[in-house]
Amino acid sequence: MRSYILEETNWNAQKDQLPEVAVLPWGATEAHNYHMPYGTDNYLASRLAESCGKAACEKGAKVVVLPTISYGVNTGQPDILLDMNLNPSTQFLILKDLITVLNRQNIKKFVILNTHGGNDFKQHIRELNLLFPDMLLTQCNWFKMPGFDHLFEDLGEHAGEVETSLMMHLHPELVMPLATAGLGKAKKFSVKVLNQGWVWAERQWSKVTADTGIGNPAKATAEKGAILFQFLTDKISDFLVELAEADLGDLYE
């Protein structure tokens, strides 16, 4: 039993201690090219949250990892078989209910550990801050973290070298031989400015990629995945420790 994993621990172990930080892993259920499972984002969310929770606890922080939420925003993939969708408005209601519990029980620091690019909790947090002004609500997107670009030849975006390497390290039994994978080629918008980042429109995924991937997984290896996973664990667990130690009444310097 890992006392920092809520699904595994029990009331007797928890009733006399109060976590300083609650971590909510949030993934998605969607196709990941031909070689990886629909649950890739969920496996990554769960394993990363577990690893970071362990490392943070070993560094002295009181952290609890909540059960992973396995469905994310997939509004751009309505025609891709079994790509499951939660609307952003539904995500807000889920967050509101869970944060209400934490706030009532005086657990004031909250991290969404997000592994799915279609999820974006920034606007949810803005609105929730008005409802829970005495809490610190954060989201952590590991895929936006700087510092690991040099490990990969093709950073890609979805089911490419990066995610495939992580899954080859964490769950090799769920990764098909790379020879079965599509190339992850992706089309861009014909309206050029939509590719520049300062104007945004949602992509229709099936019109962008034939195999559901964006990024070539051909150069993925378990060794690259292990290095990246340790890098992410170190960085995120350090954040959790710093967050646990933070004085919510004195957050600015």
Domains located in the chain, CATH noted: 11-245 (3.40.50.10310)
pLDDT for the residue numbered 76: 97
55 Cβ contact partners less than 8 Å away, ≥ 6 residues apart: 233, 234, 237
Cβ atoms of 178 and 217 within 8 Å: the answer is: yes
CB atoms closer than 10 angstroms to residue 86: 21
Gap between the Cα atoms of 138 and 129, Å rounded: 10
* Residue stretches of the chain with pLDDT short of 70: none
pLDDT for the residue numbered 16: 87
Cβ atoms of 113 and 22 within 8 Å: the answer is: no
pLDDT for the residue numbered 248: 97
pLDDT for the residue numbered 17: 87
pLDDT for the residue numbered 20: 97
Beta-ladder partners of 63: 21
Model pLDDT for residues 32-86, shown as the tens digit of each residue: 999 999 999 999 999 999 999 999 999 999 999 999 999 999 999 999 999 999 9
Gap between the Cα atoms of 49 and 54, Å rounded: 8
